[in-house]
């Protein structure tokens, strides 16, 4: 017997109280442990509440209108670019974050549409594109931050590589590549352990919607493999941008 989503998680005052308790608990733990993100946790939770409420209203309209659909996707991409860029750097190079996200996501989405696996309908295009943009955002931020931090802390090694004749790009790549590549570990672990440690959202969502376990598994497998491809591209592109100093940080003390 399939359990409906409303039965599993009813939207009522009890849910609101549970969410508030969990948010306060998370903030309290970070405060007690001195982790430094107490206010950020509260703010993120409140923002997520407002944003999801707004998105729920907008998506309803976007599902029935191609212009609104593409406009919604454009907003998703713009927000991802801004978020990734500001996580990487505070200077004018932040906008280059659009390149790894766009280069990773749009070719995959266009290919899926071209071969008929992904219909140009909001009910399919919004969740799939959103998942891929989210994966590209995470990979871009993790790889970019690690690459920039490694180059900053190991600046002397970059200078040493330059002194023996390596071009600037190659010298920076040699130092930054291993740390940037580590950004793929979360996606790899998620794919390796799916079904054994975790049951991801797409799988559970399909089951709650009444799909067969076989179809739910096929959709989840597609999402995981697509995410691996998207995140690999995002990591490779952001690493290249950092090596070419398209994305950079001001030196310490400036």
62-94 per-position pLDDT tens digit: 777 788 888 889 999 999 999 999 999 989 999
pLDDT over threshold 80, residue 10: no
Provide, rounded to the nearest whole percent, the portion of the chain with pLDDT above 90.
42
Tokens of 230: 């998207």
Point out which residues pair with 194 in neighbouring strands: 198
pLDDT value at residue 126: 86
pLDDT value at residue 211: 67
Q: Across residues 162-168, what is the average pLDDT?
A: 83
CA distances from 1 to 4, 133, 163, 186 (A): 10, 34, 69, 33
Q: What is the mean pLDDT of the chain?
A: 85
pLDDT value at residue 127: 85
Q: Across residues 113-123, what is the average pLDDT?
A: 85
Looking from the CA of 46 toward its CB, the CA atoms found within 13 Å total 8
Tokens of 110: 């266009």
CA distances from 88 to 96, 133, 198, 246 (A): 10, 17, 30, 12
CA distance 236 to 231: 9
Q: Across residues 103-115, what is the average pLDDT?
A: 92
253: left (phi over 0), alpha (psi -120 to 50) or beta: left
Say whether pTM exceeds 0.85. no
Cβ–Cβ < 8 Å for 250, 91: yes
pLDDT value at residue 247: 93
pLDDT value at residue 156: 85
Cβ–Cβ < 8 Å for 136, 105: yes
Q: Across residues 194-214, what is the average pLDDT?
A: 68
pLDDT over threshold 50, residue 2: no
Tokens of 56: 């729920």
Lowest mean pLDDT among 22-36, 110-124, 207-221, 226-240: 207-221
pLDDT over threshold 90, residue 146: yes
Lowest mean pLDDT among 18-22, 115-119, 228-232, 249-253: 249-253
CA distance 188 to 220: 14
The CB-based long-range contact list for 196-202 (8 Å cut-off, 24+ gap) reads 200/224, 202/131
Tokens of 201: 């959202």
2 DSSP 8-state letter: P
């Amino acid at each position: 017997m399939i359990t409906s989503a409303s039965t599993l998680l009813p939207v009522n005052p009890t849910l609101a109280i549970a969410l508030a308790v969990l948010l306060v608990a998370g903030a309290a733990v970070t405060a007690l442990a001195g982790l430094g993100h107490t206010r950020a946790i509260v703010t993120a939770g409140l923002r997520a509440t407002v944003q999801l409420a707004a998105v729920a209203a907008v998506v309803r309209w976007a599902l029935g209108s191609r212009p609104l659909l593409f406009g919604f996707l454009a907003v998703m991409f713009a927000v991802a670019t801004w978020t990734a860029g500001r996580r990487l750097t505070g200077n004018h190079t932040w906008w280059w974050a659009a390149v790894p996200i766009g280069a990773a996501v749009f070719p995959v989405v266009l290919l899926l549409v071209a071969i008929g696996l992904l219909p140009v309908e909001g009910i399919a295009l919004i969740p799939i594109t959103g998942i891929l943009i989210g994966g590209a955002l995470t990979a871009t931020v993790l790889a970019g931050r690690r690459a920039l931090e490694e180059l900053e802390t190991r600046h002397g090694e970059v200078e040493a590589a330059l002194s023996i004749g390596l071009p600037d790009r190659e010298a920076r790549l040699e130092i930054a590549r291993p740390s940037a590549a580590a950004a793929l570990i979360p996606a790899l672990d998620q794919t390796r352990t799916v079904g054994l440690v975790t049951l991801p959202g797409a799988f559970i969502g399909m089951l709650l919607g009444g799909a067969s376990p076989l179809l739910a598994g096929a959709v989840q497998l597609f999402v995981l493999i697509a995410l691996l491809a998207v995140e690999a591209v995002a990591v490779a592109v952001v690493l290249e941008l950092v090596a070419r100093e398209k994305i950079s940080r001001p030196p310490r003390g400036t």
